[in-house]
Amino acid sequence: MQKRVVKVIANAMAKGLSKALSIEANTNSSVLAFQPKAPKQLEKYKK
């Protein structure tokens, strides 16, 4: 039961982070005054 809950949480996190990657790939800039270096794999999230 606990393993299943952890797996559900991990899946939800991965989906949320995937959405964040999609936003980052299709916008210009970080909102903060610091821009982290974008990894090459971010290209696949570009529209």
Partner 1 sequence: MKIANIPKALAVWLAGQGVITEDEIELYEYAVICVAFLFSPLIMALIFGVPFCSVSLRVVFIIPFMVIRKYSGGYHAQKIRNCLLISGILLTLCFICAEHTVLSIWFSGVVFYLSVCIAVVSPVDSENRRLTDEEVVRFRKKCREWLVLFGGIYLLLCVTGASAAAVYWGYGLILTALLQIPCVVKRIVMPGRQAH
Number of residues that bind partner 1 (CB under 8 A): 28
Place of tokens 């393993």: 3
Contact between 35 and partner 1 by CB under 8 A: the answer reads yes
What does the block give as tokens for 38? 């974008």
Q: In whole angstroms, what is the distance from residue 18 CA to residue 2 CA?
A: 24
Contact between 33 and partner 1 by CB under 8 A: the answer reads yes
Contact between 5 and partner 1 by CB under 8 A: the answer reads no
> Which has the closest alpha carbon to 18: 37, 46, 45?
45
Catalog residues that contact partner 1 under the rule CB under 8 A: 6-7, 10-11, 13-14, 16-18, 20-21, 23-24, 27-39, 41-42
